[in-house]
């Protein structure tokens, strides 16, 4: 379960720094699952260092801001490489250290409780 959380956090960080959107917004912008904004509402974030790119724009082959998708990706990577690198390297390290520190007082009793209620395949 910890690995799933680490994977989700790293994926969201990469999505935020490369595409300029959370992983949910990247996949659902312009669809009925994301009613907050249409595809045209994601072109500019207000942050000069972040161009928003959605999956829908990639599949259509054009970005609504008029900039090419590859230019937007490269601009985001150049502007956000440091926070993305820190997150991709740091999140797993922090999760590993936290797991080791909390194993005895928190995680082992929680796993025993899950096992006692019949959930044997899930471990924290």
- Average pLDDT for consecutive 10-residue bins of the chain (124 residues)? 88 90 85 62 52 84 76 88 94 90 73 78 66
pLDDT score of 102? 72
Please state the pTM of the whole predicted model.
0.68
Kindly provide the b/e burial profile for residues 30-67, where b requires at least 16 CB atoms within 10 angstroms of the residue's own CB: beeebeeeebeebbeeeeeebbbbbbbbeeeeebbbee
């Amino acid at each position: 379960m910890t690995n799933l959380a680490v994977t989700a956090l790293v994926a969201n960080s990469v999505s935020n720094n490369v595409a300029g959107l959370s992983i949910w917004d990247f996949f659902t912008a312009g669809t009925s699952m994301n009613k907050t904004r249409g595809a045209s509402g994601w072109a500019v974030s207000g942050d000069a260092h972040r161009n928003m790119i959605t999956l829908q724009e990639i599949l259509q082959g054009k970005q609504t801001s008029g900039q090419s998708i590859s230019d937007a990706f490269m601009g985001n990577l150049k502007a956000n490489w440091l926070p993305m690198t820190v997150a991709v390297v740091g999140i797993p390290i922090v999760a590993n250290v936290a797991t080791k520190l909390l194993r005895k007082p928190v995680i082992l009793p929680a796993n025993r409780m899950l096992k006692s209620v019949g959930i044997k395949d899930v471990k924290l």
